[in-house]
Chains A and B, each alone.
Chain A
Amino acid sequence: MIIYGRSARTVALCLLAAALAVVPVRLLGQIPTDSWPTYHGDYSGRRFSTIKQINTGNVKALTLAWVYRLNTSRTGAIVGGEGPDTPPPGTPPSIKSTPLMINGILYFSVPDHVWALDARTGRENWHYAWKTRGGDHIGNRGVGILDNWLYFLTPDNYFVSLDVATGKERWHHEIANMKREYFSTNAPMIIGRQVIIGVGGDALDIPGYLESRDPEAGNLVWRWNTTPRPGEPGAASWPDEDSMSHGGGMPWIPGTYDPELNLYYLGTGNPQPVLSGKSRPGDNLYTCSIVALNPNTGKMAWYYQVTPHDTHDWDAAQTPVLIDGDFDGRPRKMIAQASRNGHFFLLDRVTGEHLLTSKHIDSLNWTKGINATGQPAHDPAKDASVPGTLISPDTSGATNWPPPSFSPDTGLMYFGTRQTFSVLYLTDTDGRPQGWAAAERNVGSVGNALKAIDYKTGKVKWSRLRWGRAEARAAPWVC
């Protein structure tokens, strides 16, 4: 047993849940060994399994059991949606969702498609295809399941519910305006009777928001705006109403949850316009922040901004991971993020108190240093400029959406890192820049690596260079 301070009651609940067909609402922080019922497996974001059957001794003996080639044809599928009958041209989708597994069935998605497969055979149980109206088809993080119902989002911003057993559609609701270049990729996170979803989009200076929807009818329960409105807390970090109500902060990755504190932890997206801060002087709250929300009301308990006044597209959407353990000699409830801006952050998750900041890549060159509250200080000299500004990491960041893992056994957090360089060219010199406002030319990387960080010190315990494709650009290395 790995989880700290869990009681027999928890175990009994888990067993009961398994017997009833496991649903996320009963998950209290330990991944079941026979199912994977949420995006993270449980609510903690650790992606740490206690399964021991596959281990370092036998992993190399794993062999292929089956392959399922993505069937995106509408023929034979259950078809829904508001768009035209002919699908838009596009490149073949890649799977960015984490499959859920419940009762031996895998549920996963790509934009406009959801499948249910038999995990033992790869046989398709059902396939649901959405007729899209358009929108950015960059990816879909997966589905959420509560009891007999499945939930997912579409690129044209519909919140859709299907029957888990058959794939038949129950209803769909539009949650954002596609014409404003909103698109939705998030995997719904289910806490109690709240289905929590978020929107995406960064092309047209639009405000971000997170919503809770009722699982039966899909109606709005609460909405939390990621940027304030005039007069609200945080408004002083923006120059005016126009900037904050077009300020971005998209919540595009599912958050994590502590049932004892009843707090939902979410990493928010970057401010907009994306690569020019000219029209938005200030810290631009609550963009690029880790926030703690009450999942019943959507009210914010605390926030910590990991990049004040971001000008590099480094959202803080990366999974904030719950860690229970010692820090400075006493037990604490903590939350950690390996952030896209190249820094590792450790906070007290009860209060939001900052505990530790460290750099997780060496090449980063954009900050004036760490300030008194542990935040990387913005350096205007490293903003996009007309003749070009060399930055590291590039706008895709030192790490990104692929989720990290944390092992309570080792106390290490594991995640992929990139030491890329790129040149940012300011292309929109207007006093009111729009959209991205700058162009990027990628240069290369001086080493992309899988890293393990000790949460107690923030130091990199070990690092394994990754080689392959375009990443094969690092320094010489004798292996």
Chain B
Amino acid sequence: MIRVRRVLAVLVVLAVPGVLVVSAVPAAAQQQALTPVTDTAAVERGQQLLVAQCGFCHGANARGGSGGPDLTRSTLVLSDEDGRQLGEFLAVGRPDKGMPKFDLPRAQVSDLAAFLHSSIYQNSNRRLYKILDIVIGDAKAGEAYFNGAGRCGTCHSPSKDLKGVGAKYEPATLQARLLLPRGRNREPGTVPAPLYTDPTSVTATVTPSSGTPVSGGLVRLTDFEVTLYDATTGQMRSWLRNGDTPKVVVVDPLQAHMDQLPRWTDADMHNMTAYLASLK
């Protein structure tokens, strides 16, 4: 039933463009034009070379310095393949603009290119960005917030459910789960189980006009249908909806976290993260 209705929904969108309003969730980017540099030794040699030979004008990270442009944004560098175009350019330079020629061996030009291409790839691929040291908050202030304004102690205890939580998660995950511990901790690159199968999922209870109420993880709720996931059988159950029939009551087990989301200040969040990180 649910499959057919989904197809139907698509058909309605196509057939009645006047009411075309669909999901506002864009998909993640799928691929890039640039490819990673795999020879890390060459990248390291290239970096040393850049600092020694080019850094004075172009900066120690090639992003531009006293008089020299940002090489990581250079179209010439971007078009370069394994140092070929870069080598041709360096052999001549651009003396009229103060860029002298450099007589570098072929292997060194290749290393230099490896470093530049590696930097550009890192800059351009936000999925590779490394989160820095984020635990800068005041753990004592976090503890006070836990027991005070945050009212975290209503449900949680540092000696029970939160025991050792600071050792269990790396800080950015800890901070994310402080905000909303929905779903399991996901390893990067893995596909998580559907949220409705998780104990922290929003649930709904459907009461048909005849029959007993049924509860389960909420899969889908529209004006036309409601679908639940029954964890005991692993099955989906759907009902057509007509106004208030059947009755549907939705409950979020993480309601306190949801209510708190708009209330957080960044300082309270950092302090709480420092406090939780100290629970080792």
| Residue A328, interface by CB 8 Å | no
Q: When the two chains form their complex, are residues A414 and B21 in contact, meaning their CB atoms are under 8 A apart? A: yes
Asked if A402 contacts B137 (CB within 8 A), the reply is: no
Q: In the complex the two chains form, what is the Cα distance from A397 to B25 in whole Å?
A: 9
Q: A64-B11, A467-B222 are in contact. Are A180 and B78 (CB under 8 A)?
A: yes
Nearest B residue to A477, CB-CB: B250
B98 interfacial by beta-carbon distance below 8 Å: no
Instruction: Determine whether the beta carbon of B270 is less than 8 Å from that of A65.
Output: no
Restricting to A341-393, which residues have a CB under 8 Å from any CB of B? 363, 365, 381, 385-390, 392
Partner of B179, one of A47, A246, A443: A443
Contact B250 A390 (CB under 8 A): no
Contact A177 to B11, CB < 8 A, known contacts A183-B33, A381-B266: no
Are A242 and B69 also in contact (CB < 8 A) when A178-B33, A183-B33, A473-B202 are? yes
- Distance of A108 Cα from B202 Cα, bound (Å): 37
- Shortest CB-to-CB span from B44 to chain A, Å, is 19
CB distance from A328 to the nearest CB of B (A): 27
A438 to B127, CA, bound (A): 10
Cβ of B195 and Cβ of A180 under 8 Å apart? no
Establish whether residues B252 and A427, one from each chain, have CB atoms under 8 Å apart when the complex forms: no
The residue of chain B having its C-beta at the shortest distance from the C-beta of A136 within the complex is B29
A246 adjacent to B12 (CB under 8 Å): no
Binds A, one of B150-158, B159-167, B230-238, B257-265: B257-265
Chain B 48-90 near chain A by CB (<8 Å), digits 1 or 0: 0000000000010101100001101101001100000000000
The 7 closest A-B pairs by CB, nearest first: A467-B221, A434-B123, A49-B18, A203-B124, A436-B126, A427-B129, A416-B24
- Say yes or no: is A428 at the interface (Cβ < 8 Å to chain B): yes
Interface contact B32-A136, CB-CB below 8 Å: yes
Least CB distance from B173 to A in Å reads 8
Cβ of A211 under 8 Å from chain B: no
Would you mind naming 7 contact pairs between A and B with Cβ atoms under 8 Å apart?
A: A47-B20, A135-B31, A242-B70, A404-B21, A434-B63, A435-B123, A439-B131
Q: Does B220 lie at the interface of the complex (its beta carbon under 8 Å from any beta carbon of A)?
A: yes
Q: Are B19 and A448 in contact (CB under 8 A)?
A: no
Complex formed: what's the CA distance from A438 to B123 in Å? 10
A203 to B72, CA, bound (A): 12
Q: Is B26 an interface residue (CB 8 A)?
A: yes
In the bound complex, residues from chain B placing their C-beta under 8 Å from that of A205 are 73
- Knowing A136-B30, A385-B266, A473-B202 are in contact, say whether A51-B63 is a contact too (CB < 8 A): no
Give Cα A49 to B135, complex, Å: 55
Name A48-103 residues within 8 Å CB distance of B. 48-49, 51, 54, 59-60, 62-65, 67, 88, 90-91, 94, 98-99
Question: Chain B residues with Cβ under 8 A from A461's Cβ?
Answer: none
B261 near A446 with CB under 8 A, answer: yes
Considering the chains assembled together, what is the distance between the CA atoms of A94 and B75 in angstroms? 32
Contact (Cβ within 8 A) B72 A434 = yes
Docked Cα-Cα span, A91 to B18, in Å, equals 31
Bound together, the chains give a CA A417 to CA B63 distance in angstroms of: 38
Q: Bound complex: CA of A418 vs CA of B262, how far in Å?
A: 14
The answer, yes or no, to whether A192 is at the interface (CB within 8 Å) is no
Interface size class of B (residues with CB under 8 A): 35 or more
Q: Which B residues are closer than 8 A to A by beta carbons?
A: 4, 7-8, 11-12, 14-34, 59, 61, 63-64, 69-70, 72-73, 75, 78-79, 120, 123-126, 129-137, 172, 175-176, 179-180, 182, 194-196, 201-202, 218-224, 241, 244, 248-252, 255, 258-259, 261-262, 264, 266, 269-270, 273
Q: Does A478 contact B (CB under 8 A)?
A: yes
**Does more than half of chain A's interface fall in helix, strand or loop, or is it mixed?**
loop
A470-B64 Cα distance, complex, nearest whole Å: 43
Q: Is A15 an interface residue, CB under 8 A from the partner?
A: no
Which A-chain residue is minimally distant from B250 (CB atoms)?
Answer: A477
Interface string of A418-435 (1 = CB under 8 A from B): 100101011111101011
Given contacts A62-B8, A246-B73, contact A467 B30 (CB under 8 A): no
Which residues in chain A, 454-469, are within 8 Å of chain B measured between CB atoms?
A: 464, 466-469
B21 to A402, Cβ gap below 8 A? yes
Q: Which residues of chain B have C-beta atoms less than 8 A from A60's C-beta? A: 224
Question: Residues of A contacting B269 with CB < 8 Å?
Answer: 388, 390
**A49→B12 CA distance, assembly (Å):** 13
CA gap between A43 and B10 in the complex, in Å: 24
B22 touches A64 (CB 8 A): no
Q: Are B24 and A475 in contact (CB under 8 A)?
A: no
Find out whether the CB atom of A138 lies under 8 angstroms from the CB atom of B29.
yes
Q: Are B33 and A444 in contact (CB under 8 A)?
A: no
A180 proximity list for chain B (CB < 8 A): 75, 78
Least CB distance, B269 to chain A, in whole angstroms: 6
Distance of A398 Cα from B219 Cα, bound (Å)? 23
Q: B135 to chain A: which residues have CB within 8 Å?
A: 387
Give the CA-CA distance A153 to B30 in the complex, in Å. Answer: 17
Question: 1/0 contact trace for A131-146 toward B, CB 8 Å?
Answer: 0011111110000000
Inter-subunit contact A64/B8 (CB<8 Å)? yes
Chain B residues closer than 8 Å to A304, beta-carbon distance:
none
Known contacts A416-B22, A416-B24, A468-B220; can you find 13 more A-B pairs with CB under 8 A?
A: A64-B8, A137-B30, A179-B75, A179-B79, A204-B120, A390-B264, A396-B25, A425-B132, A434-B73, A467-B218, A468-B219, A477-B250, A479-B248
Does A64 contact B4, Cβ atoms closer than 8 Å? yes
Task: Give every chain A residue within 8 A of B7 (Cβ-Cβ).
Answer: 64, 67
Closest A residue to B257 using CB positions: A444
Please report the C-alpha to C-alpha distance between residue A179 and residue B26 in the assembled complex, in whole angstroms: 24
Whether B20 and A475, one on each chain, are in contact in the complex, defined by CB atoms closer than 8 angstroms, is no
What are the residues of chain B within 8 A of A389 when measuring CB–CB? 266
B138, chain A: closest CB distance, angstroms: 12
Q: Which residues of B contact A478 (CB under 8 A)?
A: 248-250
Identify which of B20, B34, B194 gathers the most chain A CB atoms within 10 Å of its CB. B20
Contact between A204 and B73 (Cβ–Cβ < 8 Å)?
yes
Question: Does A5 sit at the interface, judged by CB under 8 A?
Answer: no
CA distance A476 to B22 in the complex (A): 23
**Does A450 touch B at the CB level, under 8 Å?**
yes
A400 near B250 (CB under 8 angstroms)? no
Verify if A128 is at the interface (C-beta below 8 Å from B). Answer: no
Question: Is there a chain B Cβ closer than 8 Å to A123's Cβ?
Answer: no
Instruction: Say how far B175's CB is from chain A's closest CB, in angstroms.
Output: 6
Residues of A within 8 A of B31 (CB): 88, 90, 134-137
Closest to B267 in A: A387
